[in-house]
Amino acid sequence: MEKCKEATTPMSTSCYMDVDLAGTVVDQTKYKGLIGSLLYLTASRSDIMFVVCLCARFQSSPKESYLKVSKRILKYLMGKTFVGLWMKHTSGTCHLLGSSLISWHNKKQACVTLSIAEPEYIADGSCCAQILWIKQ
């Protein structure tokens, strides 16, 4: 699909996705792989979220018509390679003595975390290190 014609939208306005009982069955493994990759991409490309989730509904029995819609998403992405959300992972702490700010720390994290709780633990560790330094 590297030399495909680019699509201006991720889904055609005339497309209506519904259960396709008469369609040609396609390889379920390849279809699931494609949808899984697109779902992963939705973390930074919210413009394709609706149509990818719509295609994900039909993973149990993929048909040619669903694959066609999925390929249109790829054609859309081909023309919009520089669009997306840039996410910064930062952590920071503020140290108060009474009601007065005595120290603060903010920095970009050296690693990307896999869960929501992990950055909090990283920030807590950094905070404890700052407090121990201040205490000395």
pLDDT in tens, 58-109: 998 899 988 999 999 999 998 877 776 665 666 677 778 888 888 777 777 6
Look at residue 111 in the predicted model and tell me its pLDDT: 65
Q: What is the mean pLDDT of residues 47-67?
A: 90
Look at residue 82 in the predicted model and tell me its pLDDT: 74
Give, as one character, the DSSP assignment of residue 9.
S
Look at residue 74 in the predicted model and tell me its pLDDT: 92
Distances (CA, A) of 128 to 14, 93, 94, 107: 57, 10, 11, 15
CB-side exposure of 23: number of CA atoms within 13 Å?
Answer: 16
Could you tell me the two tokens for 91? 């952590």
Q: How confident is the model at residue 23 (pLDDT cuts 50, 70, 90)?
A: confident
Q: How far apart are CA 130 and CA 136, in angstroms?
A: 10
Q: How confident is the model at residue 113 (pLDDT cuts 50, 70, 90)?
A: low
Q: How far, rounded to the nearest angstrom, does the alpha carbon of residue 47 sit from its chain's CA centroid?
A: 11
